[in-house]
Chain A
C-alpha cells in the first residue's frame, strides 16, 4: 500500500486534502498501468483522470480500506476497457476515411520525426497492440495484467472476484489466440 488506511478513511468522509494525497501517491503507477493497457501514450492522462474521477465518486462504496488497491485496479481496468471500446469505434471510422497511401504516408512522416530508441519502442508497442487485437478488449486487459504487469492469479482473483480456475482457462485461451497471431506474423 502506498498510503495509510486512515488516509483512505478520511477521503471516504469527503476530505479533499486526503483524496488529493491519494492521487499524488498513486498517479504515477496508474499512468504506467494505463500506458501498458491501452498502448497509446497520447491518451494516457485522459484515461488516468477518468480513473481518479470514478474513484472520487465511488469511494463511499468501498467497504474496507484494506481492499483499496484491488478496487483501484478494477477502476483502472474498467476505464481502460471503456477507452478501448470507444477507440475501436473511432479508429474504424478514421481509417475508413483514409486511403491506403495516405495511411502509409502518415506512418512514414511519424517515423521520420522520432529518434531511434523511441522508434524501436513505438514499434514494440504497435506490435503488441496489433497482437492483442486478436483477443477481446476484456481478455486483452486480463492478459496484460498477467503477462506484462506480472500480477499473480491470486491478485487477479481479488480484483475481479472470479474463481481462479475460470481465470486460468480464460488466460490460457487468450494467450493461445495471441500466440496464433504471433505465429502468423512471424511467417510473413
Chain B
C-alpha cells in the first residue's frame, strides 16, 4: 500500500508495534458497569422529560391553532364594530367636515375700470 519505503518507514512501523504493546487490551474497573447504567438512566430521564415537554408544547400549539381557526371562522356581528374599511373611514371623517378643498380660482379679469 505504501510504495518507496525507507528506513524511517521501518522505524515508524516498529514504533507503532511498540505502541500497540504499550496499550494492551485492559480490564475495566469494578465501577464500570454501575457507572455505565447510571449514565444511561440519567440520559434516559433527560430524554424522557425533554420528549414530554416537546409533546406538551406541540399539543398546546395544535389546540391554540384550532381555537384561532374557530374564532376566525365565526362571523362577528357586533353592531359597534365597523363592517368594512369604507364604513370605518366614513365614521372617522364625516362628510360635513371635509379636509380637502376645491382648487382656488383667481379672477384675473379687470372689472370696474
**A56 and B40 in contact, given A23-B33, A124-B15 (Cβ under 8 angstroms):** yes
Binds A, one of B23-31, B64-72, B75-83, B85-93: B23-31
A66: interface (CB < 8 Å):
no
Shortest CB distance A30–B (Å):
9
Count of residues in B whose CB is under 8 Å from the partner chain: 29
Q: Classify the secondary structure of B's interface with A.
A: helix
Please determine whether B39 and A128 come into contact, CB atoms closer than 8 angstroms.
Answer: no
The total of interchain contacts (Cβ-Cβ below 8 angstroms) comes to 90
B109: interface (CB < 8 Å):
no
Render A32-52 as a binary contact track against B, CB cut-off 8 A, 1 for contact.
100110010100110011101
Assembled-state Cα–Cα distance A182/B22 (Å): 19
Given B1, B26, B29, which contacts A171 in the complex, CB threshold below 8 Å? Answer: B1
Count of residues in A whose CB is under 8 Å from the partner chain: 41
Complex contacts, A63 vs chain B, CB 8 Å: none
Complex contacts, B40 vs chain A, CB 8 Å: 52-53, 56
Please determine whether A128 and B16 come into contact, CB atoms closer than 8 angstroms.
Answer: yes
Given A36, A41, A52, A127, which contacts B36 in the complex, CB threshold below 8 Å? Answer: A52
Given A27, A36, A41, A179, which contacts B12 in the complex, CB threshold below 8 Å? Answer: A179
Given B8, B22, B35, B43, which contacts A121 in the complex, CB threshold below 8 Å? Answer: B22
Render A145-181 as a binary contact track against B, CB cut-off 8 A, 1 for contact.
0011000010000000000000010011001001100
Q: Which of A9-36 contact B (CB under 8 A)?
A: 20, 23-24, 27-29, 31-32, 35-36
Complex contacts, B23 vs chain A, CB 8 Å: 32, 35-36, 39, 41, 121, 125, 148
Please determine whether B20 and A31 come into contact, CB atoms closer than 8 angstroms.
Answer: no
* Candidate in B15, B36, B47 with the most chain A CB atoms within 10 angstroms: B36
Chain B residue with Cβ nearest A27: B28
**A20 and B33 in contact, given A172-B2, A179-B8, A182-B12 (Cβ under 8 angstroms):** yes
Please determine whether A125 and B25 come into contact, CB atoms closer than 8 angstroms.
Answer: no
Please determine whether A182 and B20 come into contact, CB atoms closer than 8 angstroms.
Answer: no
Please determine whether A32 and B25 come into contact, CB atoms closer than 8 angstroms.
Answer: yes
* Candidate in B16, B29, B40 with the most chain A CB atoms within 10 angstroms: B16
Complex contacts, A57 vs chain B, CB 8 Å: 43, 47
4 tightest A-B CB contacts, nearest first: A32-B25, A121-B22, A35-B23, A128-B19
Question: A: which residues have CB within 8 A of B?
Answer: 20, 23-24, 27-29, 31-32, 35-36, 39, 41, 44-45, 48-50, 52-53, 56-57, 120-122, 124-125, 127-128, 131, 147-148, 153, 168, 171-172, 175, 178-179, 182-183, 186
